[in-house]
Amino acid sequence: MALAINTPIKERIGKYLDFAVKTGVHIFAGAMVGLEAASGFARPLVSGDAILGHAMDEYDNTGGADGDLKVHTLVGENALGYLLQVPVDGVVVTSGGDAVFASDDATLSLTDGGTDTEVGKVAQYIEDDLAVVLFVPYSS
């Protein structure tokens, strides 16, 4: 239905978003944060989750209910994502632009294990198994 009254919008500016945390999980600072599709809550990324970003702090919701905590998450600006220097299994000098996959909240590789989450691309080779990755969360 078309608008019939003024409806102000709220513009979000910044590179962080807060996501409600799933019950029974512990997210460590620096962990990749995933979206559990079935519940809609954030958790430490597991293979197949959509990536939300990286946790800026530690969040222990092992004794809480769904949504008791919100994880402050680096998501980047707009749809540009963000750059981090991280270990990536299989990175060599010719890996620039290659897709990067995550199998859990800390394990990155150039190889998809079948259900792994594509989290970004190699932006810069640093040394074997170490690169700058352009992470592009689904929410950015």
Angle at 96 between CA 90 and CA 98, to 5 degrees: 65
Q: What is the pLDDT along the chain (140 residues), one digit of tens a residue?
A: 888 999 888 776 779 999 999 999 999 999 999 999 999 999 999 999 999 999 999 999 999 999 999 999 999 987 789 999 999 999 999 999 999 999 999 999 999 999 999 999 999 999 999 999 999 998 54
